[in-house]
Amino acid sequence: MQEQIKTMKPYTGKNVVLGITGGIAAYKSIELIRRLNDSGINVRVIMTKAATEFVTPMTFEAISGNAVHTEMFGPRIKSAIEHIELARWADLLLIAPATANIIAKVNHGIADDLLSTVSLALTDIDLAIAPAMNLGMWQNPATQKNISDLNSRGINIWGPASGFQACGEIGSGRMIEAAEIVDYVKNYFVNNQQLPLSGKKIVITAGPTREPVDPVRFITNRSSGKMGYALAQALADNGAEVKLISGPVSLSKPAVGDIERITVETAMQMKEAVFDNIDGCDIFVGTAAVADYRIADIADKKLKKSQDDMRIDLIKNPDILGEVAALKKPPFTVGFAAETDNLEKYAKGKLEAKKLNMIAANIVGVSDKGFDSDKNELHVFWKDNSKILQLEEKRVIADKLVHIIMERYDAENKIKNT
Ligand code: C5P
């Protein structure tokens, strides 16, 4: 029976106290809580009195699954030190939306209600503020001075965005969207913890390459880059510093963690970008579907269809993965093998021939896995063992593959060091 691989994101099980103040953007906090919960983050809500005029506490209670806190004192309050208990529970206090008023109070240490009191009980680094206010209030020198003071104290300020405002004006002061805030929260947890790959430098290639024939045509393949991008994200989630060298794809740069994306088109450009970044690299992952051949003579003008048949001469591209593995001091090197048949035989052959530490093989040419699909199934081989990662979403498969990479990297580096 296959051993279950357990993987956890670094923000799973973290506790966020969400402070909601009196702005129209309070409605966005409903989606914010749902998205935080979807990422495995627990949320407890504190509302100011003004916030309850915009959305009822009942709404947030239902969404967060926890009682909403609105008062310091009163019959509902079970403990005289509830503010301290909330501060102790919180890994992060996020105020979203944050009005000019709460921003001023946090900056000046005023504690005249539950939210401002909990803010004062936390250290600056564990505080984040997503401003939401009218353009004029945002631009007011008092607010700007408060924001700059909070910034220099190391308090996280996320936003605001520019755009249409509830008051009908256009300009800066809108609260950033819930999805963006969640990315900031995840980044906060990834960047503030010692994680298994903290301090490790990783280079990963992804997507197809495009080999030009003439100024308007090229040859390429069906790779979407989804597996490589999911892996880049999973590696960064574990604290790695990731250089993602990407062929042409229609994906946005993964948003969480330390990822630099370098975009290239051809195999030769991909090789150059890899070798520009390979010094000091601990782990190299080659997920890119690099074209094996490029056009020998790229026409500088569009080719005309004057002949009935035509020939294009191709020359072999460098094997980027093979060249990385052949370095004097190679990083821990992981290859991919996309095969239509004889998966195990070809994958093991590549593992040996290219002197890789690991190879992840998948069958392509079937509709629900591999190229351009959201799902994948991988058979992972290394020198004396293998594991099958059953068909699942690529982001889940990526987490599991990173888990195996970390185990094998640890095992092989301990062997090297002893
Ligand atoms: O030999 P093959 O192309 O089948 O091996 C696939 C693996 O090699 C993948 O990890 C791919 O990223 C890498 N590769 C490469 N450079 C090439 C061809 C493949 O890095 N020119």
- What integer is the mean pLDDT of 136-144? 97
Q: What is the pLDDT of residue 384?
A: 87
Q: How far is residue 330's CA from residue 94's CA, in Å, rounded to a whole number?
A: 43
Q: State pLDDT tens for residues 382-391.
A: 998 999 999 9
Query: Ligand 1: which residues within 6 Å by Cβ?
Result: 205, 267, 286-288, 290, 292, 317, 319-321, 335-337, 350
Q: State pLDDT tens for residues 179-220.
A: 999 999 999 999 999 999 999 999 999 999 999 999 999 999
Closest residue CA from atom 21 of ligand 1: 319
Q: State pLDDT tens for residues 253-275.
A: 999 999 999 999 999 999 999 99
Closest residue CA from atom 2 of ligand 1: 337
Question: How many CB atoms within 10 Å of residue 270?
Answer: 27
Q: State pLDDT tens for residues 88-115.
A: 999 999 999 999 999 999 999 999 999 9
What Cα–Cα distance (Å) separates residue 318 from each residue in 162, 248, 321? Answer: 46, 19, 9
Q: State pLDDT tens for residues 36-76.
A: 999 999 999 999 999 999 999 999 999 999 999 998 876 66
pLDDT band at 414 (very low <50, low <70, confident <90, very high): confident
Question: SS3 letters for 128-187?
Answer: EEEECCCHHHHHCHHHHHHHHHHHHCCCEECCCEEEECCCCCEEEEECCCHHHHHHHHHH
Which residue among 211, 274, 278, 319 is best mutated to probe the pocket of ligand 1, counting the most ligand atoms within 8 A of its Cβ? 319
Q: What is the pLDDT of residue 307?
A: 84
Ligand 1, closest atom to CA 267?
21
What Cα–Cα distance (Å) separates residue 110 from each residue in 30, 87, 321? Answer: 27, 16, 58
What Cα–Cα distance (Å) separates residue 129 from each residue in 46, 88, 189, 257, 404? Answer: 14, 19, 15, 20, 37
pLDDT band at 230 (very low <50, low <70, confident <90, very high): very high
Question: Contact 51/26 with Cβ under 8 angstroms?
Answer: yes
Question: Contact 99/147 with Cβ under 8 angstroms?
Answer: no
- 236 C-alpha vs ligand 1 centroid, how far in Å? 23
Q: Tell whether the model's pLDDT for residue 29 goes beyond 90.
A: yes
- 116 C-alpha vs ligand 1 centroid, how far in Å? 56
Q: How far is residue 364's CA from residue 371's CA, in Å, rounded to a whole number?
A: 6
Selection from 334, 330, 352, 320 nearest residue 401 by Cα: 334
Q: What is the pTM of this model?
A: 0.91
**281 tagged catalytic:** no
Structure tokens at 62: 């239902």
Strand partners, 46: 19, 69
Among 74-78, 175-179, 251-255, 331-335, the minimum mean pLDDT is found in: 74-78
Q: How far is residue 269's CA from residue 218's CA, in Å, rounded to a whole number?
A: 15
Q: What is the pLDDT of residue 367?
A: 63
First vs last C-alpha separation in the chain: 33
Closest residue CA from atom 1 of ligand 1: 350
Selection from 235, 282, 255 nearest residue 10 by Cα: 235
- What integer is the mean pLDDT of 3-10? 78
- 195 C-alpha vs ligand 1 centroid, how far in Å? 30
Q: How far is residue 331's CA from residue 308's CA, in Å, rounded to a whole number?
A: 49
Closest residue CA from atom 17 of ligand 1: 319
- 320 C-alpha vs ligand 1 centroid, how far in Å? 7
Exposure letters 67-93 (e unless 16+ CB within 10 A, then b):
ebbbebeeeeeeeeebbeebbeebbbb
Catalytic residue among 8, 167, 179, 353: 167
Domains of the chain in start order, with CATH, are: 15-192 (3.40.50.1950), 201-295+313-416 (3.40.50.10300)
Q: What is the pLDDT of residue 2?
A: 54
Q: What is the pLDDT of residue 83?
A: 82
- 273 C-alpha vs ligand 1 centroid, how far in Å? 15
Closest residue CA from atom 5 of ligand 1: 337
Q: What is the pLDDT of residue 82?
A: 76
Q: Tell whether the model's pLDDT for residue 77 goes beyond 70.
A: no
Q: How far is residue 26's CA from residue 166's CA, in Å, rounded to a whole number?
A: 12
Q: State pLDDT tens for residues 268-323.
A: 999 999 999 999 999 999 999 999 999 999 999 999 988 889 999 999 999 999 99
Q: Tell whether the model's pLDDT for residue 1 goes beyond 60.
A: no
What number of residues does the chain have? Answer: 418
Q: Is 296 helix (H, G, I), strand (E, B) or coil?
A: coil
Q: What is the pLDDT of residue 71?
A: 87
